[in-house]
Structure 1
Amino acid sequence: MTKFVRRLQRIGSSILVSLPKEWIDANNLDKSSQVELETGQDSISISANKDTRPTKELVISYPLPKEENIVADLTGAYLLGYDIIQINSKSIIPGEDREKIRNSMRRLVGMEIIEEDSSHINMQFLLDATTLNPEKILKRMSSIALGMYDDASNGLISDDKSNLKTISKRDVEVNRQYFLLVRLIRSTLVDTRLSHAFNLENIDVLDYRVAANLLENAGDSIVDISNSIYNSSLSKELSKKLHEVVRDFNKLAEKSIDAFIKADRLLAIEAISLHKQYEEKLVLLRSSLDKKKQIPIDFFDLVYMFEGIAQYWADLADLVKPIYNQEIK
């Protein structure tokens, strides 16, 4: 980003500032063009008033260098907001790599293969970003993860644990929504059209990035705990004790996500209080069994993992800005 310094000038009753010629030329503006102004408390930004932003295109030459990975390259291009991605090769693209490319498309919401032949694959993002809603995407991530949590915790007392092996498949959808949200967040930082559509300031965009990462990590942790429960040999008595503590988790998590989306500090305080109660119950359970003999290490590992999962939603509530009393002058 290039910085320019300009001195304010008074002409008649107006204060004017000149715009850099380089920026005017780069955006094909002239004296009749309109620009958009966005003001902050101590800042102002000016952007070319264009109805649509230019399409971002990327061409990937194939085969890739040995140190590169086609799936990682496609995911990176998606997250950077490219609308059209072309893979061009001077020879036939092997079937194995084609399958990797197709599988990667399943992970990227809105990105579809629109043209393909033996040596070329063209992909395009088919969704209008302005019609998407970061709040709904974040809530969807939380909702899917909470469904996974419920099934994982119920696995503690269920005789049939086969459902635990399906939880990782649902985490794939959490990851899909995560990639989509990160794409939107990055695009919003460089496209004022999107920041206006979503009504998000830069600080809000950064908070959404943190929140998305928390929920993506929560999904991964729930997969880990479901695998641990599946392979655990805990007694029914211990499993039941743990389940009684961790089963009532949704209220805490739902208050956390609602507090974040609504920027409601009072809701956040309620969520943080519920998290403390949840932690206290786990600590009490653990301390009540610490001195007993023959308590398997698996039990304490599970307690620790449940604590970690709850912390992700508690951290989400912590992102809500505190209410400050204004100083009386």
Structure 2
Amino acid sequence: MVRKDMESRKVQKTGVSTITVSLPKEWVSANKLKAGDQVNVEVQTDGSLVIDPKERKKGEPVRSVVQVERDEPTEHLTRKLIGAYLAGFNIIEVRSKERMGLDTKHAVKDFARLVIGPEVIEETSNSVVMHDLSDPVELPQKKCVRRMHLIVESMHRDAVTAFDNGDEGLAKDVIDRDQDVDRLYWMTVKQFNLIQKDRSLADKIGVDIYDSMSLMLVARMMERIGDHAEKIAKLAVGTLEQRASEKDMARVKKLSEEALDVLARSVEAFFLHDINASNNTIDRALKLAQDAGALMPALQVSANKGAAIKASFLDSIIRTIMYSADIAELAINDGMRLEKT
């Protein structure tokens, strides 16, 4: 079935060796094209063509102006800045009709430290301009996901150690590291959005649009796993006197190490597009989650605060296992897509 915005046109021979196809009249009119104008034609990896009516310079800055309203909460501003960053704007100007308050300027500068790339390059009484200097080629999606895996693995392991030993300093260090995971996740999402606008970027960083989407989804799961490591660390900080018994802790630590092994196997299967390894990893993850769930009643033998803490701890390990299984499922989906091609 032909979409409403798709037309079928015949290829015509207009000379000895010249092949042409006409452009839709409505499209030509909408873009105010006339005879003699130039359009950009780009060949995609799937063999299709993209025709761009605008003359674009490679690397030309794309600007977003974020307007700050009077008494607008800084949290609202931060969300808008993250949205502009993820959309791929490399010049972000925060502008206010009145003199900008110090809390607003601090929020802008905090945002610049929160993500990878943006630097403040200009500041006036009612505006702050940031320029995103990050280069996707230097930090492509694959490298982001690999780094995320290393960080969330160390976060999880250290969070469990902090809980076991009552190490508040180590727990707080884990909580701080969650920001590094978020930075890499946002970088991965931004690159996916940039690839939708400029397919040539996919070639530069060694992916196609399907790979890019899968990497973004894996990054999202990594970000969730990092959140659960942070959750365990927060339990360690606030509950130093509610630690589990040695017997319970030994069982939970064993599950934790097995969860990290499942995660590692899922990540490798994803990058290798290994369908058999992914299926085996999913089977193991489901069995492991079932075993972990069976431990829950034993950890909830009493209705006190300590029982709730241990159950929350175990729940985060189960979530880590299931997110790892989701990564393995993505590996199967990608593997089957590549087999088809």
Sort the TM-score into its range (normalised by shorter chain): 0.7 to 0.9
Secondary structure class of the residue paired with 2:271: helix
Question: The residue matched to 1:240 in structure 2 has which SS?
Answer: helix
- Higher helix content, 1 or 2: 2
- Post-superposition shift, 1:80? 0.6
SS of alignment partner, residue 95 of structure 2? strand
SS at match of 1:212: helix
Answering whether residue 164 of structure 2 is matched by residue 162 of structure 1, we say no
| Count of matched residue positions in the alignment of Structure 1 and Structure 2 | 324
Report the CA distance between 1:99 and its aligned residue: 0.8
Asked whether the 8 Å contact 2:68–2:77 carries over to 1, the reply is no
- 2:50 alignment partner AA: I
Aligned to 2:327: 316
Q: Is it true that 1:19 corresponds to 2:26 in the alignment? A: no
Cα 1:23–1:64, aligned 2, differ >3 Å: closer, same or farther? Answer: farther
1:3 equivalent in alignment to 2:13: no
Preserved CA contact (<8 Å) 2:78 2:108: yes
Deviates more, 1:19-28 or 1:201-210: 19-28
**1:51-71: per-residue Cα shift (whole Å, max 9, x none)?**
715421112334458488221
Letter paired with 2:119: E
Residues 233-244 of structure 1 correspond to what in structure 2 (within 5 A)? 233-244=243-254
Q: In 1, are the aligned partners of 2:299 and 2:310 still within 8 Å (CA)?
A: no
- One-letter amino acid of the structure 2 residue matched with residue 103 of structure 1: D
- Output the amino acid matched with 1:320: A
For 1:94-152, what per-residue CA distance to the aligned partner results, in whole angstroms no more than 9, with x for missing partners?
Answer: 11111111111111200110111222211111123343310010111121111110011
Instruction: Quote the residue 1:267 is aligned against.
Output: 277
Asked if 1:150 is matched to 2:157, the reply is yes
* Distance across 2 between alignment mates of 1:271 and 1:53: 42
The residue type equivalent to 1:296 in the other structure is A
**Alignment check: 8 A CA contact 2:155 2:174 kept:** yes
Residue number among 223, 234, 241 corresponding to 1:227 in the alignment: 234
Q: In 2 relative to 1, CA 81–293 (structure 1 residues): closer, same or farther, beyond 3 Å?
A: closer
Q: TM-score, structure 2 length as denominator?
A: 0.81
Q: Is the 8 A contact 2:300 2:307 kept in 1?
A: no
2:145 aligned partner, one-letter code:
L
Instruction: Specify the alignment match of 1:125 in structure 2.
Output: 132
* C-alpha contact 1:156 1:240 (8 A) present in aligned 2: no
Q: What is the match of residue 59 of structure 1?
A: 65
Partner residue in 2 for 1:99: 106
Gaps of 5+ in 1: none
1:291 to partner: Cα distance: 9.8
Task: Among all aligned residue pairs of Structure 1 and Structure 2, give the percentage whose two residues are the same amino acid.
Answer: 21
CA distance in 1, matches of 2:302, 2:38: 83
> Mean alpha-carbon deviation: is it higher for 25-34 or for 202-211?
25-34
Offset, 1:28: 9.8
The 10-residue stretch of structure 1 (247-256 or 101-110) with the greater mean CA deviation from structure 2:
247-256
The root-mean-square deviation of aligned C-alpha atoms, in Å, is 3.5
| Structure 2 CA distance for partners of 1:29 and 1:44, relative to 1, 3 Å | farther
CA contact (8 A) 2:136 2:205 kept: no
Secondary structure at the counterpart of residue 249 of structure 1: helix
Instruction: Please list every run of 5 or more consecutive structure 2 residues that lacks an aligned counterpart in the other structure.
Output: none
